[in-house]
Structure 1
Amino acid sequence: MSRSRVVIVGAGFAGYQAARALSRHRGLREEAEIVLINPTDYFLYLPLLPQVSAGVLEARRVAVSLPSTLRGVRLVLGEVDGVDLDRGSVSYTGPEGDRGELGYDRLLLTVGSVNKLLPIPGIAEHAHGFRGMPEALYLRDHITRQLELAGGTDDPGECAARCTFVVVGAGYTGTEVAAQGKLYTDTLVKRHRVLRHRDPPRWLLLDIAERVLPELDPRLSRTADRVLRGRGVEVRTGQSVKEATSDGVLLDTGEHLATRSLIWCVGVRPDPLVADVGLPAEKGRLVVGPELVVPGHPEVYAAGDAAAVPDRTRPGSYTPMTAQHASRQGKTAARNIAASFGYGSTRPYKHHDLGFTVDLGGVKAAANPLRVPLSGIAAGAVTRGYHLMAMPGNRVRVAADWLLDAVLPRQAVQLGIVRSYAVPLDTAAPELPRGPDQWTRNAPPPSGPAPAGRPATEPPESKPPHSTSSDRPQANGERPS
């Protein structure tokens, strides 16, 4: 008699924790095969991604190996592009273009989220998001390249444009990217013989909201705002981008900013696979019950950013799209899946937020663990301690990188591994770099101009197309899954 099969789609915070919990259940492992389908062979710890783009951490530090940490789980590399509820199967495309299909007895959808894209002219063509490893590696190279090109030109206007970096979205990610990025460029300029005699790099953080970190306690917002402004970041609240072009951005105030760097951190939307499933959804998130089961399909579960989970601590609302919730939902889903095989009992999902942390670079941070507001070195220590505790692997390597960054100068070289066409703003899989002849799922063939900021040495490129995207909180592991 063949074993049953549990298929988990996506290895974000929810999917990883579910797979790990199920893999530790010896009785279930003997009765059912646990299969995890994911485009990459690692779990990405998103909260530390801004430190990768700023050269603090080496990229592999935030990438936790799935085969090494999920023993007893079968990993299938692929991007799921279809779910057949009637046949009980999922279809996927492998990393080498091969097609595959897997049947399931239980299905857990934890596909996460992708970049949010607003209908602003030029954004799709000239901005880059910050949702995956390729985007972080591209941004680090791009920032380094812009400063090097600025130092090699005699045109003051071009130099100023290349030294201007615009971050749109003052939520967790945008705030951290701007804070880490300013420290990174200041460090590079100090070691550059030409640039250190010119105006310092200019970083702008824009948001239509009235304050940075609008989702958090105002005290944390004030702390972050004070640190950013003290560091030289221009915080522009109540403003946003009206149009993006190859040589800059036009603000809704009428001001034009000459720049080659537009970093889009406005938010996220649930993965488009959710809409393709054809089941009831709430703002793109699959509707589930308190036990994370899809109504009418007792064999299908959903968690994380892909699921609209009732928030039992706030009746009438859904849990936010944060890693803190996604991780715990993954564990609850695993418990309930095991219960469906007769191991234990089901449990509805319920979790009270434990507080938030925002890493502002160096020793600075803003945090309110257990609702106790902290700032400065104390907040920095709590933030780094939290990340080390929350990471499922690589803790010693991360701590070692932090120590080396504190005592040694940062390495500033561009490797040129990720090209601009490989990280389109709108993609169904931000964890995968795209080739010049590829485009995203549910999108028309590529057309239009190439993105801004392309290195002068790159050949002409075909720009992948774009769809649309929704908002996301991120800090204290409060990143979407």
Structure 2
Amino acid sequence: MNTREHRVVIVGAGFGGLFAAKALGKVPARVTVINGTTYHLFEPLLYQVAAGILSEGEVAPPIREILPGRDIRLGWVTDVDVAARTVVVSSPDGRERLVPYDSLVVAAGASNSYFGNERFAEHAPALKNIDDALEVRSRIFHAFEMAELEEDPERRRQWLTFVLVGAGPTGVELAGQIAELAHRALKGQYRRADLASTRVVLVDAVDRVLPAFDQHLSAAARKQLRRLGVEVRLGTRVTDVDAYGVKMETAEGEERIEAYTKFWAAGVAAPALAARIAAATGAPTDRAGRIRVEPDLTVPGHPEIFVVGDMAATGLPGVAQVAMQGGAYAARTIARRLAGKPAGKPFKYFDKGNMATISRFSAVADMGPLHLSGLVGWLGWLGVHLFYLVGFKNKVTTLLHWLISFLGRGRAERISTTQQIHARTALQLVREQVTPGRAEELHR
């Protein structure tokens, strides 16, 4: 009689992985969570770290604190051996380790996409993790400081020009926050640089901001952005990004904006792991590299492998609620199997709506028949995000920082360092110098 404990491996500690691990709390199984960082990231509030409103600790609580007693492994899953039922984990020390599984829940999220123009990343960082947020924050406040030092009017204009590529929630929220920093929060703090002349440009090839929202809310968001002084350039495709500006293609022809500070918030793609799983299982993928899963979120032909959240091509939006519900569904399915119960119903997503803030006291909320904007939408956004934020301590400190930032003009997290600006490049050099071990050697 085989009495070995069922082994569940969860890849990723984002919303999907976290909700799967929590739902497996009382299931008789050994649960291992593998993640590339030691924290769970509350990504919807990441832009507030970049804007100096919140600290990184408030949106990124430690995984071990959230899941006490769980088997937590630091590393990146780079491959899956479906025959041996093991995952290959690349550790920070450069070594590769094998972790066996009986059930596998893949919730590795999505990576940023520059649509094949990876060279843009050097000059226009994205906003996907804490390292990105600290870099973006440093670049924003560094730009204001350099504008204060600059004596040449043209170079000062370039320091006070910010270009954001992508008119989805991240681009809209960050554009609104930069405009608020320049025109309200930092007002009167600089003697030479006229922050009132700060230019914030939001660029996208789509025909409206927040295209996933109701058209009425998109129009309301654009109107509020204009009130903040944000230039919204739609139907505009970015063709090049360098250290000094952005080249764009419009219906009228090519155009260039000179700006030292650029950010990328356009497009996501499945991580490399999705391609490895697809190759190992023969599963089909969509154009973004996401895996086409069965109605129960399993990989075709491999009922022991679940793919949830942004990595799954389900036709659902890439929002936190999809990952949360998918992770919990996968856990319930595993629990039913272990209990000897018949398969449950296919995964069905309950749409709780979309939300995005534009500025203080102004947000849009698309919740089924309810389309809220302005102050009412902002209050709804406030309550929902505070409810889902992990940890009582984080809820309290976040609320205090919101009071300081929204009722007053304070920005509690304004530290800007050269190290944060250049750390990404340094980390990349370190990764290139580390030679990972060969996975097949671990089988010996």
Aligned partner (choices 2, 6, 11) of residue 8 of structure 2 = 6
Q: Which amino acid aligns with 1:98?
A: R
Structure 1 CA distance, aligned partners of 2:61 and 2:13?
11
- Residue matched to 2:167: 170
Q: Distance in 2 between matches of 1:81 and 1:51?
A: 31
Distance 1:360 1:439, change over 3 A: farther
AA at the equivalent of 1:306: M
One of 358, 365, 381 as aligned partner of 2:379:
381
Contact 2:208/2:234, CA 8 A, preserved across alignment: yes
Q: Which SS does the other structure have where 2:197 is aligned?
A: coil
Once the two structures are superposed, what CA deviation does each residue of 1:328-385 show, in whole Å capped at 9, x if it has no partner? 0111011001112116553321123222211112111111334212122111110010
Deviations 1:112-139 (A, max 9, x none): 1000112458524422111111111101
Does 2:284 match 1:290? no
CA change 1:240–1:420 in 2 (3 A) is farther
Match of 2:410 in 1: 409
Within the candidate set 333, 336, 352, 2:333 is matched to: 336
Contact 1:274 1:286 survives alignment (8 Å):
yes
Judge conservation of contact 2:163–2:203 (CA < 8 Å) in 1. Answer: yes
Q: Equivalences for 1:31-430 in 2 at 5 Å?
A: 31-120=28-117, 122-186=119-183, 187-196=185-194, 200-252=197-249, 253-277=253-277, 278=279, 279-283=282-286, 284-309=289-314, 318-342=315-339, 346-393=344-391, 394-405=394-405, 406-407=407-408, 409-411=410-412, 412-420=414-422, 422=424
- Measure the CA separation in 1 of the matches of 2:90 and 2:358: 38
Q: Is the 8 A contact 2:162 2:261 kept in 1?
A: yes
Contact 2:141–2:416 under 8 Å retained in 1: yes
| Separation in structure 1 between the aligned mates of residue 54 and residue 31 of structure 2, nearest angstrom | 32
The two structures have a TM-score, normalised by structure 1, of 0.83
TM-score, normalising length: structure 2 = 0.89
Q: Which amino acid aligns with 2:431?
A: Q
| Pair 1:349–1:208, CA change in 2 (3 A) | same
Pair 305,396 (structure 1): closer, same or farther in 2 beyond 3 Å: same
State the Cα RMSD in Å.
Answer: 2.1
Give the deviation of 1:207 after TM superposition.
0.9
CA contact (8 A) 1:281 1:308 kept: no
Deviation of the 1:268 alpha carbon: 0.5
Specify the alignment match of 1:429 in structure 2. Answer: none
Conserved? CA contact 1:189–1:200, under 8 Å: no
Q: What is residue 446 of structure 1 aligned with on the other side?
A: none
Amino acid at match of 1:354: K
Distance (whole Å) between structure 2 residues aligned to residue 142 and residue 155 of structure 1: 20
CA contact (8 A) 1:48 1:62 kept: yes
- Is 1:172–1:213's contact at 8 Å kept on the other side of the alignment? yes
CA contact (8 A) 1:220 1:373 kept: yes
Q: Check conservation: 1:126, 1:245, Cα contact below 8 A.
A: yes
> Partner amino acid for 1:207?
D
Is 1:58–1:401's contact at 8 Å kept on the other side of the alignment?
Answer: no
Question: 2:136·2:421 contact (CA, 8 Å) conserved in 1?
Answer: no
Rounded to whole Å, the distance in 1 between the matches of 2:11 and 2:341 is 23
2: CA distance, partners of 1:122 / 1:14: 31
Letter in 2 for 1:434: L
Q: Is the 8 A contact 2:171 2:202 kept in 1?
A: yes
Aligned-partner SS, 2:431: coil
CA positional deviation for 1:261: 1.4
Distance 1:188 1:327, change over 3 A: same
1:296 aligned partner, one-letter code: G
Distance 2:416 2:122 in 1: 23
- Secondary structure of the 2:269 match is strand
Task: Identify the residue that residue 434 of structure 1 maps to in structure 2.
Answer: 427
Q: How far off its partner does 1:417 sit? A: 4.3
Is contact 2:159–2:260 with CA below 8 Å preserved after alignment?
yes
Tell me: CA distance 1:215–1:227, structure 2 relative to 1, closer, same or farther (3 Å): same
